[in-house]
Each structure stands twice: as structure tokens, then as C-alpha cells.
């Protein structure tokens, strides 16, 4: 129950930050920082999430990381592709934080590193 309230509070805060904005908010974290802090390595937060071992606080961190990804612009590749991939990853993270059924499977499908890196990671 407490996890649901945290998710709701985070969702409302996100909505409040983005409501009424004619332009997309600027990211507070770079793609490089997000990848290093949340996704790099076999012991990363992303790996922990994929194993279903992340705490509620860690899931909240992943929701923030993935939200920040949606705000960033990749240095390479199509913006539509970036938006689709980062939005799917963010939606999956939010579903996990809300403990929704099927969320872990959605996360595992969305966190396909190679699919994103092959089109968006700079050489």
C-alpha cells in the first residue's frame, strides 16, 4: 500500500512539473550519467530491477532515471525512435514501482540495451 502512495506522489509530482509546459523540460541528468549510475554492468540498478530484487526506493530511483532519459536528446539516431524506446522504458519502470501485474516482463522487454545502443549510442 505504501508503495502505491509513493508511486502516486511521484506521478503527481511529474505531472505537476510537466503540466502546462509548452516546451519539454530540460533534463537534470545527462544520458551518460544515467547509463553509468543506473544501467552499466552486471551489478547495476537495472540488473537488480531485472532480477526483481530492487527495493521500493531503488524502483523510485529507476523511475527518475528513465524519466530523465525521456527528457534527453540522443546525439545519434531518430528522435521518434528515442522517444518510443525511452518512453516504453519509463512506463515499465513506473509499472514496476506501482507493483502492477506483468510489470517485470514489460521491463525486461523495454530494457533491451542493444536495441537502443545500436541506433542511439555515439560511436
Position 78 scores a pLDDT of 92
With 50 as the cut, is the pLDDT of residue 88 above it? yes
Neighbours of 28 (CB within 10 A): 10
Mean pLDDT of 50-74: 97
pLDDT in tens, 7-26: 544 454 455 445 545 687 99
Q: Which of 2-6, 61-65, 116-120 has the lowest mean pLDDT?
A: 2-6
Give the start-to-end residue ranges of the domains of the chain: 27-120
- Say if CB 72 and CB 30 are below 8 A apart: yes
Position 24 scores a pLDDT of 78
Could you tell me what percent of the chain has a pLDDT over 70?
82
Could you tell me what percent of the chain has a pLDDT over 90?
79
The sign of the CA dihedral 11, 52, 91, 43 is: positive
What is the C-alpha to C-alpha distance for residues 73 and 7, in angstroms, rounded to an integer? 26
HEC profile of the chain? CHHHHHHHHHHHHHHHHHCCCCCCCCCCCCHHHHHHHHHCCCCCHHHHHHCCCCCHHHHHHHHHHHHHHHHCCCCCCCHHHHHHHHHHHHHHHHHHHCCCCCHHHHHHHHCCHHHHHHHHCCC
Mean pLDDT of 25-48: 95
Amino acid at each position: 500500500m505504501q508503495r502505491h502512495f509513493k508511486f502516486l506522489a511521484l506521478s503527481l509530482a511529474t505531472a505537476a512539473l510537466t503540466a502546462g509546459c509548452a516546451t519539454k523540460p530540460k533534463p537534470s541528468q545527462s544520458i551518460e550519467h544515467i547509463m553509468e549510475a543506473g544501467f552499466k554492468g552486471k551489478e547495476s540498478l537495472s540488473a537488480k530491477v531485472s532480477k526483481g530484487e530492487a527495493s521500493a526506493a531503488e524502483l523510485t530511483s529507476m523511475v527518475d532515471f528513465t524519466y530523465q532519459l525521456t527528457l534527453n536528446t540522443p546525439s545519434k539516431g531518430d528522435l521518434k525512435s528515442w522517444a518510443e524506446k525511452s518512453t516504453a522504458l519509463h512506463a515499465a519502470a513506473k509499472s514496476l514501482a506501482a507493483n502492477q501485474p506483468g510489470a517485470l516482463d514489460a521491463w525486461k522487454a523495454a530494457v533491451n540495451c542493444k536495441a537502443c545502443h545500436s541506433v542511439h549510442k555515439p560511436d
